[in-house]
Amino acid sequence: MTTPHTRDSWESLANGLKIRTQAFIDGNYVNAASGKTFDCISPIDGRSLGRVSECEAEDIERAVIASRRSFDSGAWSEAAPRHRKKVLLKFAGLIEQHGDELALLESLDMGKPVSDARAVDVAATIRCMAWTGEALDKVYGEVAPTGPGELGLVTREPLGVIGAIVPWNFPLLMAAWKLAPALAMGNSVVLKPSEKSPLSVIRLAEIAIEAGIPAGVFNVVPGYGKGAGEPLALHMDVDGLVFTGSTAVGKHLLQCAGRSNLKRAYMECGGKSPNIVFADARDLGKAAEAAASGIFYNQGEVCTAASRLLVERSIKDEFVARVVEAGRDMHPRHPLEPSAPMGAMVDETQTTRVLDYIEKGVAEGANLVLGGKRANVVQGGCYIEPTVFDDVAHEHTISREEIFGPVLSVIAFDSEEQALRMANDTEYGLAAGLWTSDISRAHRVARKLRAGSVWVNYWDGGDMTAPFGGYKQSGNGRDKSLHAFDKYTEMKATWINLEG
Ligand code: NAD
């Protein structure tokens, strides 16, 4: 049993932290070929955490060559499933062992509360790696239902070299959702973390080697979208491209796949998720708390943030009062404070973007009932108050566009049909929730919601056992569960003539 951390113990761990900042290619930390670096600024207080190697086309080339070589060698791609399982389980164990360090890197780099990083990001990364490791040697092929003269085998083979491009809001976990199934199926991976949050994944690469993943199988190339992401997406020797990030970049990457070698391409993109509260919900107090944490958790920088709260008009005022009360308790604090409910926004750019949306909400006539300002938590840091807008019209910008910040739009509805119409009237379809005590309504509404995940009487449920992904412009393909393996395998039909 370990002693729970205090602010002081996190601070002292942070002071002794050795931060890796180089690219990881073919089993070694290396500088970018150009020697270029970029500054990695902590949004907690604006201090530099170090200068990170800025990879560009030449580095992508090196990483793809290493990846291809490792794949062709068969050291990983042809290893027995039970061997890959053993290694992934060891990998999960080592992530646990280095859990505090990884959580701290995550918090310092992108501003989330370190307690959340430890209890959610790191814990879920471990579960992802372990679940996938456990699953990989239970995947069977098929025998086709043929006549007596032939045998038809349906088998799965690894794609080869996977390019993975991931965002900054859950840097380690989003990487794990790609990395675990890709490695499980025998692929080699070149992973580009976000330029805003590269540190945890740079460190993870070294841990992978310690776990027994051969050199060249997992490479990390920090850099910018244009400089490093684009050459990876356009590379002619990358077989699969997997992405989590904004819809705009996802659309662009699909074009890159089409313009190059028709690499398999799967995009997990943005959302503007509706959370529908009916007047017959069993526990409105619980629903209000979930509505608040659904938008303020991780500073609202969550693809499934419950950013649109649709409330039945008869209970709307009372419900909003409860949400405001719960939101007030979530005011940001120093991210190394163990009880911080919210931390810092990822950077100045995102902070300004969110504040601009708040201004637009006011200008378009929504009723600001909580927050709305920059919060002064730490000098030089990026903090925004939990913000609630009541009386938002479905047509308002803040109700249509993904803000990716702690800003809630409350919209009243008068009927189930109207709630569903507004919920589905969005370009996105990542997640949706509803609160009701009527079981028929729960099933009826869940069935009609056009979203990849639907939660009934809670928000953000789920684990590794079910697929995660979007309808419409929230993306294609699915992360998590056995379905994730589809993205990382080709399916082969082998026909054998039995008639001699
Ligand atoms: P982003 O699209 O700006 O960046 C994501 C990644 O793409 C980064 O690594 C970035 O460097 C890279 N990139 C940017 N431009 C590129 C280009 N031209 N070519 C190649 N790569 C490029 O997204 P973000 O701001 O990092 O993350 C926030 C977005 O991610 C939100 O829209 C959020 O909803 C989405 N998200 C989705 C999920 C999901 O599972 N659906 C999960 C988390 C986040």
Residue 2 clears pLDDT 80, i.e. is over it: no
Q: What is the pLDDT of residue 1?
A: 53
Q: What is the pLDDT of residue 208?
A: 98
Contact 381, 45 (CB under 8 A): yes
Q: Which helix (H) or strand (E) holds 88?
A: helix 81-97
Task: Establish whether residue 167 lines the binding site of ligand 1, counting it when its CB lies within 6 angstroms of any ligand atom.
Answer: yes
Helix (H, G, I), strand (E, B) or coil at 381: coil
Evaluate the CA torsion angle 16, 201, 430, 439 in order and state its sign: negative
Q: What is the pLDDT of residue 230?
A: 98
Q: What are phi and psi of 490, to 5 degrees?
A: -95, 150
Tokens 């679940």 belong to residue? 131
Q: Which helix (H) or strand (E) holds 361?
A: helix 348-363
How far is 232 from 79, CA to CA, in rounded Å? 26
Higher-pLDDT residue of 2, 217: 217
Task: Establish whether residue 470 lines the binding site of ligand 1, counting it when its CB lies within 6 angstroms of any ligand atom.
Answer: yes
Render pLDDT for 82-123 as a digit per residue (tens, 0 to 9): 999 999 999 999 999 999 999 999 999 999 999 999 999 999
Residue 215 clears pLDDT 80, i.e. is over it: yes
Atom of ligand 1 nearest to the CA of 303: 34
CA 284 from centre of chain: 29
- Give all strands (DSSP E) within 230-321, no chain letters: 240-244, 264-268, 274-277, 308-312
Q: What is the pLDDT of residue 3?
A: 78
Pairing of strands 308-312, 274-277: parallel
How far is 230 from 12, CA to CA, in rounded Å? 39
Q: Of the listed 303, 312, 382, 385, which one is catalytic?
A: 303
How far is 134 from 27, CA to CA, in rounded Å? 25
Tell me how far the alpha carbon of residue 9 lies from the centroid of ligand 1, in angstroms. Answer: 33
Q: What is the pLDDT of residue 477?
A: 95
Please list, in sequence order, all residues whose beta carbon lies within 8 angstroms of the beta carbon of residue 136, skipping any fewer than 6 positions away.
81, 84, 85, 88, 184, 185
Q: Which of 112, 128, 169, 299 to mutate to test the pocket of ligand 1 (most atoms within 8 A of CB)?
A: 169
